[in-house]
Amino acid sequence: MCDSPPGNLSGEFRDRVVCVAGLGVSGPPVARALSGMGAHVVVVDGRTDQTARERAAELRTEGVEVALGGEELPPGSELVVTSPGWRPDSPLLVAAARSGIEVICDVELAWRLRPANQTWLAVTGTNGKTTTVRMLEEILRADGRAAAAVGNVGTPIIDAVLPGTDGRAPADILAVELSSFQLHWSATLRPYAATVLNVAADHLDWHGGMEPYARAKGQVYAPGTVRVTNQDDPWSRHLATTRGDSGAPLAGFSTNRPEPGELGLDAGRLVDRSFVSEPRTEAVELARVSEMAAADPHNVANALAAATLARSVGVSPEAVRTGLARFAPEPHRISRVATVETVDYVDDSKATNPHAAAASVASFGSVVWLAGGLLKGADVEELVRAAAPRLRGAVLFGQDRARLRSALAEHVPDAPVVDIPDTGPEAMGKVVSAAAELARSGDTVLLAPAAASMDMFTDYNERGEAFVAAVGGLAPSPPE
């Protein structure tokens, strides 16, 4: 269909000068791979902190040139492979564009280097990407496929398309998590099948607004790619028809009873009315919600997305059932931490935008909400308006807490709000203590920040761990 032969470019990198922009997660493995192909690699990063210095020192021992403390395009550069987080208006990328030098990201590079027999199933969206690709990986493996989940889920994608140092062959099929940043820098990517799970305001500061952010997501529906759409999300449907190939197959999923051509829910069962012989009359049961380890409403939607992608490559119903039963959610995703004096404490630090936080708050009846951080240009009015009936109170922290406080004052004026201005190591302890004072029997103290964490923490994982540690200081009893 669209699984076109790879570019087989590995030999074309010999003696070429390639700039790798960024020493983050993707930079070092890309630098090593290109250096191993004979390229002269120069890694550039404006940081000079200890982590950057340590990574630079390690790469230099492997023969890779590294320039720290600036963002200048290295002389003679013929290609730039940028880390996803580098904005298009950064000086190095602007200089490359002016000089006519191609800029790609690690995903585009991996796509060009992939083995001829490797199939990609791609997942993007504002929320649910990691969970969906992990579910998809479990389903594919249950069907006996040599599969790997890659992208922002642990395995660098460049490592998944090249033979291992031990000679191990790359996986036959990849469940690929893709961010809007990566899609922005991917020109020739053509997954076999792909989905946009949902689109809500996020990363608007990077993309310059909602429309360009959505367009970047929509690039996953490439020419020939099987279009898997979330029928419950207007943006997903819109992008599949406006950005996708109208001649490519279309399969939808929904948490409602499925129409012909869809997967959906029917009486607590995940049902397929798409990949069957007679979609108008035939329905195949794939799994029961009661058998799933992750059965929250948003995870059922993710399971349907994963099942649709899996069925597009011929995975059996039995494998879908087995894979979803095996799947276990990762930490900091609506994880119940403890129960203290009949109050539940739940960690959803991964709720890094308003859309994710709204789904989290909607999962509980009476909530003491812990929120704040970097909103990245996102609006919180709709989130607070929808959450208002469930909010007993809120504890706010982080750089953009004033915007949350303003929205709470307008939409939940009677709810008590505690403002924690501290940003040091003790801040989360103060947040949790304040929440414990507000909470009553039967409440849920919910960390669902609706914002990124980098104003106070390294990432959402560190923020979640700080919450877990602070709750531990309340002498909790284990959850049932």
pLDDT tens digits, one per residue of 430-454: 999 999 999 999 999 999 999 999 9
pLDDT digits (tens, 9 = 90+) for 28-52: 999 999 999 999 999 999 999 898 9
Tokens 């003491």 belong to 368
For β-strands 147-150 and 79-82, DSSP reports them as unpaired
Q: How confident is the model at residue 164 (pLDDT cuts 50, 70, 90)?
A: confident
Mean pLDDT of the chain: 90
Which residue in the block uniquely carries the two structure tokens 């059932």?
A: 321
pLDDT for position 1: 41
For the stretch 50-76, pLDDT in tens is 989 999 999 999 999 999 999 999 999
Confidence (pLDDT) at 151? 82
Q: What are phi and psi of 446, to 5 degrees?
A: -120, 120
Whether 154 has a pLDDT exceeding 80, the answer reads: no
Residue 296 has what pLDDT?
75
- Gap between the Cα atoms of 238 and 452, Å rounded: 27
Task: Using only the alpha carbons of the chain, give its radius of gyration.
Answer: 23
Binding residues: 125-131
Phi, psi of 95 (to 5 degrees): -65, -40
pLDDT > 70? residue 338: yes
Contact (CB, 8 A) for 467 and 370: yes
Q: Does residue 263 have a pLDDT over 50?
A: yes
For the sheet with 119-124, list strands across it. 147-150, 173-177, 119-124, 193-196, 226-230, 250-253, 262-266, 269-272, 284-288
Residue among 290, 301, 352 nearest 195 (CA): 301
| pLDDT recorded at residue 10 | 62
- pLDDT value at position 329? 79
185 neighbors 108 (Cβ within 8 angstroms) = yes
CATH superfamily of 335-473: Mur ligase, C-terminal domain (3.90.190.20)
Q: Which residues contact 449 (CB under 8 A, 6 or more apart)?
A: 349, 351, 352, 357, 370, 371, 372, 373, 398, 460, 463
What would the mean pLDDT of 193-198 be, rounded to a whole number? 95
Question: Which residues touch 81 (CB under 8 Å, ≥6 apart)?
Answer: 18, 19, 20, 21, 30, 34, 103, 104, 105, 106, 109
User: Taking the CA of residue 135 as centre, how many other CA atoms within 13 Å lie in the half-sphere pointing to its CB?
Assistant: 29
Cβ-contact 150, 156 below 8 angstroms: yes
Which position has the higher pLDDT, 229 or 127?
Answer: 229
> Per-residue pLDDT averaged across 145-174, rounded?
86
Q: Over 50: is that where the pLDDT of 8 sits?
A: no
Output the pLDDT for position 73: 96
Q: Mark the binding-site residues for ATP, compressed into ranges.
A: 125-131
Per CATH, the homologous superfamily of domain 15-100 is NAD(P)-binding Rossmann-like Domain (3.40.50.720)
Q: What is the distance between the terminal CA atoms of the chain, rounded to a whole angstrom?
A: 49
Determine the topology of domain 111-326 in CATH.
UDP-N-acetylmuramoyl-L-alanine:D-glutamate ligase (3.40.1190)
Give 214's pLDDT tier (boundaries 50, 70, 90): confident
Q: Is the pLDDT confidence value at 336 over 50?
A: yes
AA identity, residue 192? Y
Predicted pLDDT of residue 204: 57
Gap between the Cα atoms of 411 and 152, Å rounded: 36
Instruction: Work out the burial of residue 33: count CB atoms within 10 Å of its CB; fewer than 13 is exposed, 13-18 middle, 19 or more buried.
Output: buried
Report whether pLDDT(478) > 60.
no
Q: What is the mean pLDDT of residues 351-356?
A: 87
Mean pLDDT of 310-330: 94
Q: What is the pLDDT averaged over residues 174-186?
A: 90
| pTM of the predicted model as reported, rounded to 2 decimal places | 0.75
pLDDT confidence of residue 7? 45
Q: What is the pLDDT of residue 96?
A: 96
Distances (CA, A) of 142 to 153, 206, 287, 322: 19, 38, 13, 6
Residue 363 has pLDDT above 90, yes or no: no
Higher pLDDT, 479 or 58: 58
Question: What CA–CA distance (Å, rounded) separates 26 from 10?
Answer: 18
Contact of 411 with 382, CB cutoff 8 Å: no
Q: How far apart are CA 304 and CA 297, in angstroms?
A: 11
Cα–Cα distance between 5 and 370 in angstroms, integer? Answer: 49
State CA 219 to chain mean position distance. Answer: 16
The residue ranking higher by pLDDT, 145 or 217, is 145
Question: How far, in whole angstroms, is CA 227 from its chain's centroid?
Answer: 19
Q: Where are the domains of the chain?
A: 15-100, 111-326, 335-473
